[in-house]
Amino acid sequence: MRRNLKSNGLIIAILAILTLASCGSGGDHAAHADTYTCPMHPTVISDRPGTCPVCGMDLVRKGRAGEKVEITEDLAKLIKSPNEAVVANIKTIKGQYKSVPVSVEAQGLVTYDTRNIFTIPSRVGGRLEKILLKYEFQPVTKGQKIAEIYSPELLTAQRELLFLIQNDADNKPLIDATKSKLELMGLTSSQIGDLVAKKETTQTFNIYSRYSGYLITGQGVPTTSVSTSSSSTAGSGGMAEGMGASPGASTTTATTPGTEQTSSIIREGSYVAAGQTLFSIVNTSDLRIELDLPAAQAASMKKGNKLTLDYGNGSTEAATIDFVQPFFNGGQDFVKVRVFTNKTSGLHIGHLVTARIELPASESLWVPKEAVLDLGTDKIIFLKDRGALIPKKVVTGISAEGLIQITSGLASSDEIAANAQYLIDSESLIKTAK
């Protein structure tokens, strides 16, 4: 009996050991079982590979606890921060201090030298009885009669002089004063002498041009600058008013910047007031050239800079800049640069001219043109700062040989994007760093 109990106890012990062993093996297997899920639908879980019942994608195995993930090159790009990814893929450069020879090309046209544009005004009020200048660009020669005028003021002044001569001939000061009054009204010394000799008043008086040139109106003057001319500087090619204008008298012709005179040729029978302009006359013996330059380039231009003029007909001329316009015309982003030329043969008013201006090379900071983004009112570069590219305003100068001059806002040690256009799209709004 005792032997049977021992046998049964041994059997029970062996069964218990086997049961514990099988339970431990099953738990370990459960701990190492893999699960699979859908990348797009994490709620889909399976204990074996397959496809997602929602989207049809292949199920992927979930990582086991403590399992290390291998970082491949493609995965490294995905987990990199956006700023680091952008900077890593964009080439950056630094500006260089160096001397670059600068050659600027500009377009312009031939126009009148405004020092040879004059006006002939009426010295007195009255009615024009006869006009001899009929059409624009009509040639006028020195001493030519150009008009006849009837003036009550002149008629009264003549009668005063004749009265004094007949009734108070010894009063020389008063007679001389009356003659001076007639001269101020436009009579020449010969006309006054004829009046005293004939002792008869004249109803109309002739107006003469004392110089040579061509009749013009406002539309015939291709210029927008203010001009002031004096007859004291004009020779045989200048113009001055007739009616006995005294030598050295000056006249002024002015047009507001950006506008032109629109006066037409005056006609017979018109009434004029004292000081009113009758005719405008220009002499073409001297011409000048007006070039148009963008503001950024014009800032580097100075009087005396050398240039070469190409007239487009195979002829060229070396010249120098005489004047740089110090203001902008309305609605324009360029200034006028004036050049005088000694070459007048074969040139006409309005003739197109190409000029190449050579500027002295000076050391400054230069970067490629592609590195600067032009927003119209501002110039932008992208500065590398702490692993990111930040937009920043700069001030630019002239351009030459694919480079652009940076005058302010950038140091030679700064690193910038080589191509600023790559960093924006058509709908970008750029906020620059202060």
In the chain, domain spans: 87-101+362-423, 116-282
Using CA atoms of 142, 126, 118, 110 in order, give the dihedral in degrees to the nearest 10.
Answer: -100
Q: Lowest-pLDDT range, 12-26, 245-259, 379-393?
A: 245-259
pLDDT digits (tens, 9 = 90+) for 201-240: 888 888 888 778 888 886 444 543 433 333 333 333 333 3
| Location of structure tokens 């493609």 | 74
pLDDT at 58 > cutoff 70: yes
Contact call for residues 192 and 173 (beta carbons, < 8 A): no
User: Which of residues 177 and 23 earns the better pLDDT score?
Assistant: 177
What's the distance, CA 11 to chain centroid? 108
Element (H, E) at 91: none
pLDDT band at 429 (very low <50, low <70, confident <90, very high): low
Phi/psi-derived region of residue 230, left when phi > 0, alpha when psi is between -120 and 50, beta in every other case: beta
Count CA atoms closer than 13 A to 239's CA, side-chain side.
Answer: 32
pLDDT digits (tens, 9 = 90+) for 274-290: 888 888 888 877 788 88
**Percent of the chain's residues with pLDDT above 90:** 3
Q: What is the CATH number of domain 87-101+362-423?
A: 2.40.420.20
The residue-averaged pLDDT of 60-76 equals 71
At residue 51, the pLDDT reads: 92
Alpha-carbon distances, residue 228 vs 116, 117, 213, 282 (angstroms) = 9, 8, 17, 13
pLDDT at 48 > cutoff 60: yes
Contact call for residues 229 and 116 (beta carbons, < 8 A): yes
Mean of pLDDT over the chain: 75
pLDDT band at 246 (very low <50, low <70, confident <90, very high): very low
Element (H, E) at 11: helix 2-31
The residue-averaged pLDDT of 243-271 equals 52
At residue 16, the pLDDT reads: 60
Residue 396 CA to residue 385 CA, distance in Å, equals 21
pLDDT digits (tens, 9 = 90+) for 166-202: 888 888 899 899 889 888 888 888 888 888 888 888 8
Instruction: Encode burial over 122-159: b for 16+ CB neighbours within 10 A, e otherwise.
Output: bbbbbebeebebeeeebebeeeeebbbbbbeebeebbe
Crossing angle for the helix pair 189-198 and 172-184, nearest 10 degrees?
130
Contact call for residues 165 and 144 (beta carbons, < 8 A): no
**Percent of the chain's residues with pLDDT above 70:** 71
Count CA atoms closer than 13 A to 54's CA, side-chain side.
Answer: 10
What is the model's pTM? 0.49
pLDDT band at 260 (very low <50, low <70, confident <90, very high): very low
At residue 271, the pLDDT reads: 92
pLDDT at 393 > cutoff 60: yes
At residue 237, the pLDDT reads: 35
Q: What is the largest CA-CA distance in the chain?
A: 191
Q: Strands 139-140 and 213-216: what pairing?
A: antiparallel
Rg of the chain in Å (alpha carbons): 47
The residue-averaged pLDDT of 337-352 equals 79
Q: Lowest-pLDDT range, 222-226, 291-295, 344-348?
A: 222-226
Q: Strands 373-374 and 379-385: what pairing?
A: antiparallel
Residue 276: Cβ-neighbour burial (10 angstroms; 0-12, 13-18, 19+): middle
pLDDT band at 127 (very low <50, low <70, confident <90, very high): very high
